[in-house]
A and B are shown apart, each in its own frame.
Chain A
Amino acid sequence: MAVRLLSRLVLPEIRGTVYSSSAAAPATLSDFDVQHKTPVIRKQQSIPKAQYGGRHAVSMLPGGGIGPECMSYVRDIFNYIGAPVDFEVVDIDPNVDNDDDVQYAITTIKRNGVGIKGNIETKSEAAYVTSRNVALRNELDMYAYVLNCKSYPGVSTRHKDIDIVIIRQNTEGEYAMLEHESVRGVIESMKVVTASNSERVARFAFEYAKRNGRKKVTTVHKANIMKISDGLFLETSRRLAKEYPDIEHNDMIIDNCCMQLVARPHQFDVMLMTNLYGSIVSNVVCGILGGAGLLSGRNYGDNYAVFEPGTRNTGTAIAGKNIANPIAMINASVDMLEHLGHRYHADLLRNAVNRTINVDRILTSDCGGTASSTDVVNAIKENANLIANKLHLG
C-alpha cells in the first residue's frame, strides 16, 4: 500500500518510473504511518494520529454474537504478550433503531485511524435503517477488502497448501443499497460500478501482488451477462495489468470460478472481484480451509483500516458456550499489529497461533478438535511465552 499511496503524489506521466522502484517508500514506515503521512485524493479532515509514547489507540467494536467473548480473548492475549495497544471499546446496541451508536463508532475509528471489529448486528428490518457493517465501510470509504487464505496444516481439509489472497471491492456494486419499487410488484435493485473505485481497487490488488511477491492476479466477473457494469470492472483491471508486466493477469467468470475453487484451488494466487462476488468467494474459500473460525479479513481505505474475522458471521447460536473458535479474531489482531508496525508482537503472536494449530493441534470443535475457546487461548499464551523465551534465552 505504501507505494500505491505514494504514487498519488507524483505526476501521472512519471508514475510508470516510480512504480518500478518499490524503494520509493522508506522501509521503516509502517502502513499506519503511511496512511497518516500521505495526502490523499479524497478530501478528509486531517486528524493527528493516536500514537502516544509508542502505544497506539485502537477502536474495538465487539459487535454481536461471539464478538464480545472473542474480543476479551484478544485483550487478554495482548495484555499477556505486552502488545503496546490501548483499546477503546465501543458497544453498539443492536436493538436500537437510530444510528447514534454507529455514528459514534465511526467517529472513534476516524480518531484512532484503526479499528478491530466483530460482526455488528442490524436487527431492525426497517428500510431506513441501513446495515451497520455496510454503513461503516461506506462512511470510512474503505474500498478494499483483503482476505488472506492460507491453509493450516493442522486442520484437516480436502485441499492442502492453499495460499490465495482475495481482494474485494468493498463499497459499491450490489451493496450500493439502492432499491425501489418502480411499479407495484416490480423491484429494481441497482448495482453501481464506477471507474474510479474499480481503478482504486485494481491498483490496490496489483500493488499488493507486487509488494508481496505474488505472480498472478485473477479478475473475477460476470461480464458476459452484465456487459457494461462488470465489463467496466474487467476493462479497468486489464488496463492496469499493462502497468505491471511482471504480474500475470487473467480473468474468470464467477460461476466457473466457484467450481474451479472447489475442484482445483491451487491455480489461484491473487483474486480481484466486485463486492457481491467477493462475499461469495471468500465464504467458499473459508469453507475449503476449515470454516468460519480461522481466517481474518482486512478493510483498507486511504486513511483508515479496520480488521475483522474473515467471514462476517455473528455466531449468535454458539455465543457464551465457550466453544467459538477464537482464531479468526486473534488473526485479525495480528493483522492489526502488523499494520501498526509492531513487528515483534505480530510475529510472536502469529507464530504462537501457528504452533497451537499445527504442532499442538489444539482446536475447537468446528475444526475437528475437542478444545474449548479458553483452552485454545491458553495454549496460544503458553506458546507465545515459549517462543519469546527462546528468542531471549537462545
Chain B
Amino acid sequence: MSLLSRNIFRALVQGSQHVSKGVHTTAVNNDKNQTKEGRIKCTLIPGDGVGPELVYSVQEVFKAANIPVQFESFFFSEVNPTLSAPLEDVVNSITRNKICIKGILATPDFSHTGELQTLNMKLRNALDLYANVVHVKSLPNVKCRHNDVDCIIIREQTEGEYSALEHESVPGVVECLKIITAAKSERIAKFAFDYAVKMGRKKVTAVHKANIMKLGDGLFLRSCEEIAKLYPRIQFEKMIVDNCTMQMVSNPNQFDVMVTPNLYGNIVDNLASGLVGGAGVVAGASYSAECAVFEQGARHIFSGAVGKNIANPTAMLLCSANLLAHVNLHSYSKMIKNAINKVLKDGKVRTKDLGGQSTTLDFTHAVIHSLV
C-alpha cells in the first residue's frame, strides 16, 4: 500500500514538474529556482537621459535568457514632473516587490519651486535607502591606467550634506547644514563591516575629514571605531578624504572596503568609477533594511547621447546581474556576468566610451549571443 502510494506520488511529482517546466523553463538554463516562486516581480524606473535605452537593453537580455523576472515599470522623473508617476506609487511598488532596478534621475541645477530636496533624495528618504554600495572592479580588456582595482565603496546617503537644510540668514550669507547622527553612522559602519564579512574582505577604511569638522565627522569616525571593535578579524583604518582621493588615483590597489559619509562617498564613487572605465561600466546598489534598489554606480544621465544609441549598457547589465544574485537566482546572474566578460574580452564589440564604434544595441546583441 505504502509502495503504491509512494509511486503514485512520485508520478505526480514528475508530472507537475513537466507542467511547470513548460511554463518557465528556458533553453539556455535549467536552474530549478525558476519554478519555485513563479515569476519574481521587480520595480523598474527607466530614469532620464540614456536610462530608457539602457533599461531596454536589460529587458532584451532578460527576455533572451528567459529569466523569470517580471518588471513593473514606472516613468519617474524630476525634469518632467507632469508625466512622472507620483512618488507614493513608486514607493509602494518598491516596498511590495522589495527589489527595483533604476536608471539615473536627472536633477535640475536650480530649483524652480524653491524646494531643496531632489526627487532622488525623496525616494531615498521615503524608502530609507541608507546604504549605497559601489563595487569598483577592473573589467577585462578595458584599458585604464590602473589594473586590478577591486574595492567596495559604501556611502551613507540619507543625512550629512544631503539633508536639504539651507537658509540665508542675512542677505548674501547662506548656511548649509550638515547633519551627522550617531545612530545613522553606526548603522552604515555596521553595514560596511557586515558587507565586508559577507564578501570575505579583509579591511575597512573609514573616509572622513575629522581634522576640520571635529564634531561632525568626529562622531562618524567614533561610531566606526565603536563598531569596528565587534569585528576583531577585519582590519580597520581611517583616512582623511583629501589624502584618500590622492591615494585612490596613485595607488588604488591598497583599498578594500571603504565607508564614507554622504558627500565624500559621492566624490570617491565617481573618482573610482573613472579609474576603471567611467560611468558606463560601474554598477551600484542602494539598500534599506527591507529593500534593494540597483542602479549605476556613478550617476550621470549622459543627456548628450540621448537617442544616439551610443551609451554603454555594461553598468546596467551588471546591476541586473547583481539583482538576480540578490534574489538567489545565482545561475542567471553568473550567466549574464560571464556573457559580459566574454564580450569585453573578445573586444570586437565596444561602445564609444571604451574606444570602439559599436552601438548600444550591438553590444546588447553581442551579450545575448554570448549567453550560455
Contacts and interface: CB of A to CB of B under 8 A. Distances in A.
Contacts of B288: 53
A47 B186 CA distance: 8
A78 to B, nearest CB: 8
Interface stretch (B78-86, B190-198, B242-250, B339-347): B190-198
Contacts of B287: 52-53
Interface string A104-136: 100100111000000000000000000000000
A107 B194 contact: no
A388 interface: yes
Interface stretch (A2-10, A80-88, A179-187, A266-274): A80-88
A104 B233 contact: yes
Nearest to B40: A82
B33 interface: yes
A392 B33 CA distance: 13
Interface stretch (B14-22, B211-219, B253-261): B14-22
Interface string A371-394: 000000000001011101110110
Nearest to A46: B186
B87 interface: no
A382 B10 CA distance: 10
A54 B16 CA distance: 30
A317 B227 CA distance: 41
Contacts of B328: 79, 82-84
B291 A47 contact: no
B13 interface: yes
B32 A82 contact: no
Given A54-B290, A385-B32, A82 B37 contact: yes
B151 interface: no
Contacts of B4: none
Interface in B271-300: 285, 287-292
Nearest to B294: A53
Contact of B33 (A54, A80, A112): A80
A107 B230 contact: yes
A156 B12 CA distance: 26
Contacts of A54: 98-99, 289-292
Name, among A48, A112, A390, the residue most crowded by chain B CB atoms within 10 Å (CB to CB): A48
B36 A52 contact: no
Contact of B194 (A82, A84, A111): A111
A229 interface: no
A389 B16 contact: yes
Interface string A289-319: 0000000000000000000000000000000
Nearest to B129: A53
Given A48-B186, A50-B190, A107-B230, A55 B23 contact: no
Contacts of B191: 48, 52
Contacts of B186: 47-48
A325 B357 CA distance: 60
Nearest to A394: B16
Interface string B93-131: 000001100000000000000000000000000000001
B98 A392 contact: no
B40 to A, nearest CB: 9
A347 to B, nearest CB: 13
A375 B33 CA distance: 19
A285 interface: no
Name, among B5, B13, B291, B330, the residue most crowded by chain A CB atoms within 10 Å (CB to CB): B13
A353 to B, nearest CB: 16
A361 interface: yes
Contacts of A57: 194, 197-198
A55 B37 CA distance: 16
Contact of A53 (B6, B35, B187, B326): B326
A360 B9 contact: yes
B327 interface: yes
A49 interface: yes
B75 to A, nearest CB: 24
A393 B37 contact: no
Nearest to A54: B98
Contact of B36 (A50, A84, A360, A385): A385
Contacts of A49: 289
Contacts of A86: 198
Given A386-B13, A393-B20, A48 B36 contact: no
Contacts of A386: 12-13, 16-17
A50 B188 CA distance: 11
Contact of A107 (B37, B99, B232): B232
Nearest to B229: A107
Interface string B169-180: 000000000000
Nearest to A381: B32
A51 interface: yes
Interface in A126-167: none
B307 interface: no
Name, among B5, B37, B187, the residue most crowded by chain A CB atoms within 10 Å (CB to CB): B37
Contact of A382 (B13, B131, B231, B329): B13
A83 B5 CA distance: 30
Nearest to A348: B36
B230 A111 contact: yes
A301 B292 CA distance: 30
Contacts of B6: 360-361
B187 A48 contact: yes
Nearest to A107: B230
A52 B194 CA distance: 10
A82 B327 contact: yes
A359 interface: yes
A70 to B, nearest CB: 21
Interface in A32-60: 47-55, 57
28 contacts: A47-B227, A48-B183, A48-B186, A48-B190, A52-B131, A52-B194, A52-B292, A57-B197, A80-B32, A82-B37, A82-B327, A104-B232, A104-B233, A107-B231, A107-B232, A110-B230, A111-B194, A111-B230, A112-B194, A385-B17, A386-B16, A386-B17, A388-B35, A388-B36, A388-B37, A388-B38, A389-B35, A393-B38
Closest 7 CB pairs of A and B: A53-B292, A392-B38, A82-B328, A388-B36, A48-B187, A53-B287, A48-B190
Given A51-B289, A111-B230, A388-B37, 18 more contacts: A49-B289, A50-B194, A52-B194, A52-B289, A53-B290, A53-B291, A54-B98, A55-B326, A79-B328, A82-B33, A82-B37, A111-B193, A361-B6, A382-B13, A385-B32, A386-B16, A388-B38, A393-B23
